[in-house]
Amino acid sequence: MNALVSRYTRPQFEGETVAQDEDHELVSSVNPLSLKFALPPIAQPSSWLRAMTDDYSNPNCPIKIAHGTTTLAFRFQGGIIVCTDSRATAGNWIASQTVKKVIEINNCLLGTMAGGAADCQYWLAYLGMQCRLHELRQKRRISVAAASKILANLVYSYKGYGLSMGTMCAGVTPQEGPALYYIDSDGTRLAGNLFCVGSGQTFAYGVLDAEYRYDLTVEEALELGRRSILAAMHRDAYSGGSLNLYHVKEDGWVKHGFNDMNPIFWKTKLEKGEFSNVTAEMDGF
């Protein structure tokens, strides 16, 4: 068998062997627990990655990355509402309808996913580790401002290397009250009362901007979150699946279900008079 394999195997050139050795040395030199990634062994890796994956700067790039989602969060007098859809797309097809886009960083802090799923999951998981280390060292819970700053500093150090993130950090502490921050892959960090992120954000903002106020009751805030995501899922092709809804309070977050949107859609249509363009039969409702 070895003779047969050697007969039909193309011999390696010396240059190929050297390149393989260099790649192996580059990967093995990075500690598995380190934040340093093995980058392409070229002079300007960020420019190379942009040319390979950014179809805005290079329409002929070989890897076209398409993202789509809808995530939202807003502050009100009873805490913070965090709500997302659950659809993951890969180009023009639906990869999953059950993605959990709310990341439970710890029992008091939530993050959301928009952009590249791997980037968001990895960095928010690492943020959770840093928050736990802070609690062990300082003997107190980390503030939302500090947690969001850690994440912004981390992703800024990889600016231009192809990260794709648009995430929110939401939490309530005695010192800050309800605190909400938006962080993206460029290192941008913004505090605000409400944010929507993703391809369906325009539709969600339409509902939020019309009906948001700070003195909402808990039930009104939960309903506003549902209706905002519903509007995005109804019109945005890259948003769909189920609705993931959380209420963040000072003593921790409460999950209000991973719910199918069809009953919520018909209930909203009948009770609110919305989506009047849909004229299907509604027997049984």
Q: Which residues are catalytic?
A: 69
CA 163 to CA 70: how far, in whole Å?
Answer: 19
Q: 152 exposed, middle or buried (CB, 10 Å; 0-12, 13-18, 19+)?
A: buried
Q: How many residues are there in the chain? A: 285
The answer to whether residues 64 and 91 touch, using CB atoms and an 8 Å cutoff, is yes
Give CA separation, 256 vs 71, 84, 105, in Å.
16, 12, 17
Q: How far, CA to CA in Å, does 117 sit from each of 40, 89, 96, 125, 144?
A: 21, 10, 12, 12, 22
Structural contact between residues 50 and 160, judged by C-beta atoms closer than 8 angstroms:
yes
- Hunting for tokens 């805005």 — which residue is that? 56
Residue type, 84: T
Strand spans (E) along 77-211:
79-84, 88-90, 93-96, 102-104, 109-112, 166-173, 177-184, 189-191, 194-197
